[in-house]
Amino acid sequence: MNSIKSVPARVLSRRGGHSLEAEREQFDKSQAISISKAINTQEAPVKEKHARRIILGTHHEKGAFTFWSYAIGLPLPSSAILSWKFCHVLHKVLRDGHPNVLQDCQRYRSNIRETGDLWGHLHDRYGQLVSIYTRLLLTKISFHTKHPEFPPGLEVSDEVLEKTAGTDVNNIFQLTVELFDYLDWELKLSESVFRQLNTSMAVSQMSAVQCRLAPLIQVIQDCSHLYHYAVKLMFKLHSCLPADTLQGHRDRFHEQFRSLKNFFKKASDMLYFKRLIQIPRLPESPPNFLRASALAEHVKPVVVIPEEAPEDEEPENLIEISTASTVEPQVTSDIFEQTFGPPNGIRDDRDAQIESLKKEVDMLRAEMEKIKLEAQRYITQLKAQVNSLEGEVEEQRKQKQKALVDNEQLRDELERLQRAKQDSDRSQRLCAEAEKKANATEIRYTKLKEKHSELINTHAELLRKNADTAKQLTVTQQSQEEVARVKEQLAFQVEQVKREAEMKLEDQSVQMEQLRQELDARRDELDQAQRSLSHAKQAGTELSAQVEALHAEKEVLRRSVSEKECELLSVRGLVEEKELQLSQEADKATREIRELQGRLLEKSNQEHSLQQKLLDEQFGILQETVREAEDILRDAMAKLDDPLHIRCTSSPDYLLSRAQAALESVDTLENGHAQYVASMADAAGLVGALALFAHLTADTIVNGSATSHLAPTDHADRLTETCRDYGQQSLDYLGELKDKEMLRHAKLGDVRQALRGVLQLAQELRPKSLDIKQEELGDMVEKEMASTSEAIEDAVRRIEEMMSQARNESSGVKLEVNERILNSCTDLMKAIRLLVTTSTNLQKEIVESGRGAATTQEFYAKNSRWTEGLISASKAVGWGATQLVESADRVVLHMGKYEELIVCSHEIAASTAQLVAASKVKAEKSSRNLSRLQECSRNVNEMAANVVASTKSGQEQIEEKDTMDFSGMSLIKLKKEEMETQVKVLELEKRLEGERVRLGELRKQHYALAGPYDAAEDGEAKPAPAPRRGILKKPPLPQKPSHGELERDAGLPPPDRANF
């Protein structure tokens, strides 16, 4: 919701006393609420109840003061939708509001124009519509202000239309033209709205679309009335003027009729309008104005607005009904008293009452007759409408029969399409199944690939485990060998112990034998022997214990050996099981690897086929691009021989830029061709380069043809042939790209050579004024400005000398005329001198603010186009001042013509305008020197106008006109003089036409020498504007094209020329 500013103080100052303060505040509040709800940034149509309240408010205060006091506070520049809805509400207020609304809106024309200009410069969809809508509203306000007989609602009777048109043919002619202009803006708004809707493929039930369509209801209402009035006035014009004279009017009306009929047809087909307005139907063909009886066949189109349903929210009573109801009985009672007298007063004489009643009866009878005639005329019109409606009904019957036949055909077509749809559905299902199978195969392939990877990993893991097991087996074998060695060592130790024990037993047995032998011998030593025996028994017992310990240790070692053998057997079993499992898994992995290798081979074959298909598709895309490029180039080459293209012109600079871009595209195309030959699976680079090459080549050929239209004959023929050769070489290269064998060997050498020929010719055709070295531009600017100042000073001095000479040599009227002319020339020279000084100061300011760390010469060289514009403007001002002084000298000495002085004044005003435009193009808007320069420019225009005025008045004073007295001539002599005068008129007209042609050729040659091409810095080729046809007017004189050409080359805006 947009905020509205508070009520201005001037609104409050107009209000009455304190008794109406509350009512006025309530009214202002309700109006503010209605305006804020009607005009907002929501992309939705304006609600009718809010617009109705605003309209009732205008009737309440008898004007639109309150509406405008709130409307000017709306932020219209911030939102295009807000501006669009403001225009819609203003249109409704103009149509249905109080009659004084028109005068109130006239005061705010500048606000409406500024809003339209703002959005017209912005690239916004609503902004373009707002620009057109504001122009329509301005046209509407101007028309109804100029013709107050037409209310803004455009509802007037035929009698008022006849009275407004009058009997003067010129008034009727002018009124018809204004009605055509009015209708043109209405139709332009509708076409713009429908163009945007066609672009966005919108539906009329969407709120965003309805926001655009809502204002067209008022446009339909306006167009119906404007069409009716235009038809009436056209018939009236054809009854007063010859048909050939009104051919332009008829052509314009027929074009508007087609546009209006198309507009009504599109609007009738939309659901949005069907419930809001009943749109009339126009006849199939426009009225035949050459047949006067066709006026009776014309039927006025009537627009019907259906009654609206009551709103949920009741509007406030803005008009006091009680006051109106009390006034009406009072008025009725006054009329009754005036007619019959006061009820209790003295009655008039009976005869007087009878006379008055008879007069009233006669008046009523006359009115009755008039009403009858009007009713008869309406009956005739209604009968004509009935006949036309019967014809339409018959036409509808025929269309119905045709529709039935078409319906049968469509039904057959529908059945055929349904069968085709079933077939397509079946093929789509098969395609979907195939895609599912392909997807399943792809998934299965992916799983197999993952399984294959898993098997490879498992196989590698098993190989690592096998190696570990082999290592463990080797360690086990080593441990077994070590156990065997330990066992052998233990066995050896046991054997050694046995041998030691046996040796000890043998030693003991020997000792026992010795003891026995000694026992017998040495009985005496029995005790000692017994002790020795006991000691021997003890040693034997110890040895027996040692033997038993060794036996026990032997058993332990035997059990450990058996355990190791058992463990070794179990390890051998595990190793055998592992080897068996590994062999099985290896066999299985080998089978799976073989299967995967087969599938991989199949997949590689599929990939090869897909790769081949990709190559074919890339080659097909390339061929489509080549064919499209050939079509573009053939279309561009066709422009070389197209007579309709002769009006298109371009500049050598723009042709040079286009050709340079085309040469760069040739290099890009060569790189893309090399990439495609290296890898034919990717044609994206070559396709893009081909598209760019085709468009830039076509652009170069078209601009070359447009440049040749303004070039000399020799250069034009050479440029045309070079462009044709360039296009043919490009087509030959594209033809080589169509063959796969020749594609690899296609070369761009001939194309590049032809394009360089175009570049060379464009360089030759460039303006010679651009050959100045950029280092000399800065010095030339200062020299030209100084020489211009000197020329102006010299001109002022010469004028003063001529003034003193004229005072000495002439007197009377001639002295007065010469002094007035020379004084005006002196004032003009002073104004030009002040303008040149101000321009010089402004240039210094521009250079100081824009050059930065660079020097003045570098700044001028960097902005060479702008500098050349300054040089040209300075030369033109100095030359114009010199020519003006010479012309004034010849006029004072009676050796020249006054027309020379007038032409020199126009020339010097245009030259100073050129200098102003060249000076202010790079200046800042807030510069004081720029403001002074613009003021000086306006002063120069005024002084130039004074020179022209003084020259014309002096010419009228000095030249004597002969009085024409033909009273003494006879009829035959008068006829003879008339014929001789006609012969002189024809001779002078022929001479005038020849001089005009000569003037045009001179200006064309001047234009070619000073800068031969009318192009801006972007150089875009565009057709020359066709001359506007005037009505019963002579063709305008050709304008001199030389002024402003350097400004156009430098991107400057055209200077404001002085019109006298």
pLDDT of residue 521: 66
pLDDT of 697 over the 90 cut: yes
Give Cβ neighbours of residue 378 (< 8 Å, ≥ 6 apart).
none
pLDDT of residue 15: 45
pLDDT of 796 over the 80 cut: no
**3-state SS of the chain: helix, strand, coil percent to 5?**
80, 0, 20
| pLDDT (average), residues 503-510 | 70
- Nearest 5 degrees, angle CA 1003-CA 1005-CA 1006? 60
Share of the chain above pLDDT 90, in %: 3
| pLDDT (average), residues 668-691 | 85
Q: At what angle do helices 169-200 and 247-268 cross, to 10 degrees?
A: 40
pLDDT of 526 over the 90 cut: no
Distance CA 442, CA 436 (A): 10
pLDDT of residue 1009: 63
pLDDT of residue 878: 74
Strands 648-649 and 1022-1023, bridge-based pairing: antiparallel
Give whichever of 262-271, 293-302, 433-442, 771-780 has the largest mean pLDDT: 262-271
pLDDT of residue 696: 92
| pLDDT (average), residues 475-498 | 70
What are the structure tokens assigned to 859, written together? 């700044």
State which H helix or E strand residue 791 sits in: helix 777-809
| pLDDT (average), residues 568-583 | 79
Report CA-CA distances (Å) from 38 to 1, 25, 308, 998.
Answer: 10, 20, 18, 62
pLDDT of 876 over the 70 cut: yes
Give whichever of 314-323, 465-474, 729-738 has the largest mean pLDDT: 729-738
pLDDT of residue 972: 81
| pLDDT (average), residues 604-618 | 81
Give whichever of 380-394, 451-465, 751-765 has the largest mean pLDDT: 751-765
pLDDT of 276 over the 70 cut: yes
Tens digit of pLDDT for each residue in 700-739? 999 998 888 888 888 888 888 999 999 999 999 888 888 8
Which DSSP state fits 291? Answer: S
> How many residues in the chain?
1060
CB contact at 8 A, 875 and 820? no
Considering only residues 17 and 733, tell me which one the structure prediction assigns the higher pLDDT.
733
pLDDT of residue 530: 63
Q: Mean of the per-residue pLDDT values for the chain? A: 75
pLDDT of 524 over the 70 cut: no
Tens digit of pLDDT for each residue in 956-974? 776 654 456 667 777 788 7
**Residue 464 pLDDT grade (very low, low, confident, very high; cuts 50, 70, 90):** confident
CB contact at 8 A, 113 and 134? yes
Question: In 879-1030, which ranges are E strands?
Answer: 1022-1023
pLDDT of residue 692: 92
**Residue written as tokens 């403007």?**
873
Give Cβ neighbours of residue 957 (< 8 Å, ≥ 6 apart).
813, 816, 817
What are the structure tokens assigned to 102, written together? 């028109």
**Residue written as tokens 């053939």?**
634
Tens digit of pLDDT for each residue in 351-376? 787 888 888 888 888 878 878 787 77
pLDDT of residue 349: 67
Nearest CA to 906 out of 867, 875, 936, 876 is that of 876
**Residue written as tokens 């380069």?**
689
| Residues 252, 258, 259, 263, Cα dihedral to 10° | 150
| pLDDT (average), residues 1030-1041 | 32
**Residue 323 pLDDT grade (very low, low, confident, very high; cuts 50, 70, 90):** very low
Distance CA 551, CA 900 (A): 158
Which DSSP state fits 205? Answer: T
Q: How distant is the alpha carbon of residue 34 from its chain centre?
A: 35
pLDDT of residue 51: 87
pLDDT of 316 over the 50 cut: no
**Residue 338 pLDDT grade (very low, low, confident, very high; cuts 50, 70, 90):** very low
pLDDT of residue 1008: 65
Considering only residues 491 and 588, tell me which one the structure prediction assigns the higher pLDDT.
588
Q: Is the dihedral of CA 451, 457, 461, 467 positive or negative?
A: positive
pLDDT of residue 864: 64
Give whichever of 72-81, 380-389, 547-556 has the largest mean pLDDT: 72-81
The SS3 call for residue 242 is coil
pLDDT of 695 over the 90 cut: yes
pLDDT of residue 308: 54
**Residue written as tokens 């819609």?**
88
| pLDDT (average), residues 1004-1025 | 46
CB contact at 8 A, 171 and 165? yes
The SS3 call for residue 678 is helix
Considering only residues 480 and 228, tell me which one the structure prediction assigns the higher pLDDT.
228
Q: SS3 letters for 292-325?
A: HHHHHHCCCCCCECCCCCCCCCCCCCCCCHHHHH
CB contact at 8 A, 217 and 276? yes
pTM attached to this predicted model: 0.35
| pLDDT (average), residues 404-421 | 76
Q: Is the dihedral of CA 81, 83, 86, 92 positive or negative?
A: negative
Question: Is residue 748 packed enough to be buried (19+ CB in 10 Å), middle (13-18) or exposed (0-12)?
Answer: middle
| Residues 983, 988, 993, 997, Cα dihedral to 10° | 140
230-269 CB burial, b ≥16 within 10 A, e <16 = bbbbbbbbbeeeeeeebeebbebbeebbebbbebbebbee
pLDDT of residue 315: 41
pLDDT of 289 over the 50 cut: yes
pLDDT of 1050 over the 70 cut: no
CB contact at 8 A, 227 and 260? yes
Q: Is the dihedral of CA 478, 483, 488, 489 positive or negative?
A: positive
Nearest CA to 271 out of 317, 204, 183, 369 is that of 204
**Which amino acid type is present at position 25?**
E
What are the structure tokens assigned to 961, written together? 């006109």
Share of the chain above pLDDT 70, in %: 78
pLDDT of 319 over the 60 cut: no
pLDDT of residue 1040: 33
What are the structure tokens assigned to 78, written together? 């911030």
pLDDT of residue 311: 46
